Amino acid sequence: MTEKQKTKRTKIKHALESSEFGTGIVVKGWVRTRRGNKNVNFIALNDGSTINNLQIVADPAIIDEETIKRCTTGACISVDGELIESQGAGQSVEVNAKAIEILGDADPETYPLQAKRHSMEFMRDIAHLRVRTNTFSAIYRVRHAMIFAVHKFFNEKGFYNVHTPIITASDAEGAGETFKVTTLDLNNVPKTEEGEVDYKQDFFEKEANLTVSGQLEGELAALALSEIYTFGPTFRAENSNTTRHLAEFWMIEPEMAFYDLSDSMDLAEEMLQFLVTYALENCKDDLEFLNKRAIEEEKTKPQNERNELTLIERLEFVKDNEFVRLSYTDAIDILRNSKPNKKKKFQYIIEGWGADLQSEHERYLVEKHFKKPVILFDYPNEIKAFYMRQNDDGKTVGAMDILFPGIGEIVGGSQREERLDKLQERMEAMGIPVEEMSWYLDTRRFGSTPHSGFGLGFERMMLFVTGMTNIRDVIPFPRTPGNAEY
């Protein structure tokens, strides 16, 4: 072996797949565990390329004792050795160490991650280190695979990815839920004669905020490129400390010219099934690990709250079954007559048509009534955004939400109002500043056409695919009220 080859690192994933026994190999990674005795030591090494560890055999006759001692959980090491067929059960290959170099010690007195089960709450407190655990490294690998699959899906369909702005001046969606963007001195805010903040002196010379959705800009692009999608960060200052809301989350927003609402439902269903199938085919080891983890977690829950299906069974189920499509009006009928509604078990009792559906209602439909993903459509216009297309009945709009087991809403979308007069009417009625949105209305003034789109919350999808139950655990660095560390 030449000097050059000797320094070349083999990824643990490839080492585990190799059968070139007897050849030299260099592997680098972080120690998960070390066990052994005076005669021999076994080090479980992981470099993030796979959930599986590579077993390093360290013989005190070859590796000095001091070095072996420093191979503690969390330490980073480089191993120069020989790939051999494993003697023990549980793995097919291992490495006989000829030399071990300690790249970075991890003092066992102070290193927070010991080789035992830690609670998810504890992990959130050390989110800067939690990627070094099996659970979180599996989640991050699956997350990568899902990002890649999103782009693959749309690219293969001929959609164009569009970068919509992160800083915007339009607060079209939810008033009051935005984060302000300003360079004004907050200790000395310039005021107008009327005593209001003088945004003319601010960086953008007007009020600006972080985007809550790329949709409106996505529509501009769709009305030229036909089929586009965005995949970017969105920000909502909603002070809701739930297991399904983040202040910073990633959203996939396709927008399609010439699509009506049902075309859009078809696309969303196909996309979700594609993503699930991709995960099943490409993330086998990680999903098997997460599946076992979820089964263990289920055991800690009361019997009546346990899932009937395992994580992998849920994924297979979504892959193989059509979603239920149900109008809001039919959903209200089902909910009104449901047991938890009659027995007043819901926190919000459904009195009648027009009620906004809460997560408890969505989950009842999906988990108890249909036991399938459900697409609800044609919602009352009163509870939906201004840009959704008015139906002929005068009281509903062409909106659709996709509801998933364990999660509730995962996708929200609509056919957009393409008729200028109807759109303007609605904006005025809802107090949306028509003047400021003139750029948006230009799409309806010039070459307007029916079009539709939706938003998939990427972290909600990640919850479903990984079987995790708190959205803070499927994004590397969660942003929630009171939490913006790292």
| The one among 236, 293, 314, 426 contacting ligand ATP by CB under 6 A | 236
Q: Select 236 or 293, whichever has its Cβ closest to ligand ATP.
A: 236
- Among 34, 130, 132, 245, indicate the residue that binds ligand ATP (CB under 6 A): 245
462 binds ligand ATP (CB under 6 A): no
CB closer to ligand ATP out of 106 and 399: 399
Contact window for ligand ATP (CB under 6 A) among 10-18, 19-27, 144-152, 451-459 = 451-459
State the number of binding residues for ligand ATP (CB under 6 A).
14
Interacting span for ligand ATP (CB under 6 A) from 77-85, 241-249, 268-276, 315-323: 241-249
- 412 to 431: interface string for ligand ATP, x by CB under 6 A: x-------------------
Least distance in angstroms from the C-beta of 216 to ligand ATP: 13
Contact status: 249 vs ligand ATP (CB under 6 A): yes
Q: Does 143 bind ligand ATP (CB under 6 A)?
A: no
Verify binding: residue 246, ligand ATP, rule CB under 6 A: yes
The smaller minimum CB distance to ligand ATP, of residues 440 and 454, is found at 454
CB of 153 to ligand ATP, least distance (A): 17
Give min distance, CB of 348 to ligand ATP, in A: 13
Residue 376-415 contact track with ligand ATP, rule CB under 6 A, x = bound: ---------------------------------xxxx---
Which residue in the block uniquely carries the two structure tokens 């949709």?
A: 215
- Closest approach of Cβ 446 to ligand ATP, in Å? 27
* The one segment of 15-23, 219-227, 238-246, 289-297 that binds ligand ATP by CB under 6 A: 238-246
Q: Does 251 bind ligand ATP (CB under 6 A)?
A: yes
Contacts to ligand ATP from residues 304-363, by CB under 6 A? none
Q: For residues 54 and 388, which CB has a smaller minimum distance to ligand ATP in the complex?
A: 388
- Do residues 355 and 380 touch, judged by C-beta distance below 8 A? no
Q: Which stretch binds ligand ATP (CB under 6 A): 157-165, 323-331, 365-373, 457-465?
A: 457-465
* Contacting positions for ligand ATP (CB under 6 A): 236, 238, 245-246, 249, 251, 409-412, 455, 457, 459-460
